Amino acid sequence: MKIVGISGSPNSKGNNSRMVDHSLAIAKENGFDIEKISLADVNISPCTDCGVCKNERSCSIDDDMGRIYEILESADGLIVSSPVYFGTLSGQLKMLFDRTLPLRRNGFLLKDKIGAALAVGGSRNGGQEYTIWSIHAWMHIHGMIVVGDNNHFGGIAQKDVDSDDVGMKTVEDTVNKLCSTLKKFAST
């Protein structure tokens, strides 16, 4: 089984990316294949509402989303993470979310995948829960099964994540919940 981590940050070496790397390392220790999508390293344009995806499973925009669609479809579980920008998710992650419309319109191709959300902000209460709520909303719209950290909505950290033991514990609990849920589904 495969878990894909999405770093919704434009900074490939920042707190958000390190949090996703740590999460994927936990998934790998749990026996999962892993893959990372770093939005800092891809070219994604915004949706133009052209309507092409209403009738076919494609998008008229020629960018990296074609490859990302395949990665998302291949996942059994998704870890989606964003830095908090003005109280909510990054613009880069929002563009990716908008561009997944062809996956929904053409058979709900993310349906029943297990999803977990992470967020990192400048302070302990810097908008992480609202950011996670935004990620959960996207997951629910796709028909995904959403898990948290057994206490809250998901992994909520503050920067510097490398020294935030409390926040990283929620991240680890969230990833472990994702892994255990996937294992339960696989055994049925």
Over the stretch 61-115, which tens digit does the pLDDT of each residue have?
999 999 999 999 999 999 999 999 999 999 999 999 999 999 999 999 999 999 9
Give the count of domains, the chain: 1
Return the pLDDT at 56: 83
Radius of gyration of the chain (CA): 15
CATH number of residue 71's parent domain: 3.40.50.360
Distance of CA 123 to the CA centre of its chain: 21
Say how far apart CA 104 and CA 72 lie, in whole Å.
12
- Residue ranges, the chain, pLDDT below 70: none
Q: For residue 156, what are its two tokens?
A: 């909520």
Return the pLDDT at 152: 87
Return the pLDDT at 58: 85
Return the pLDDT at 1: 96
Return the pLDDT at 118: 98
Domain span holding position 143: 2-186
Distance of CA 60 to the CA centre of its chain: 24
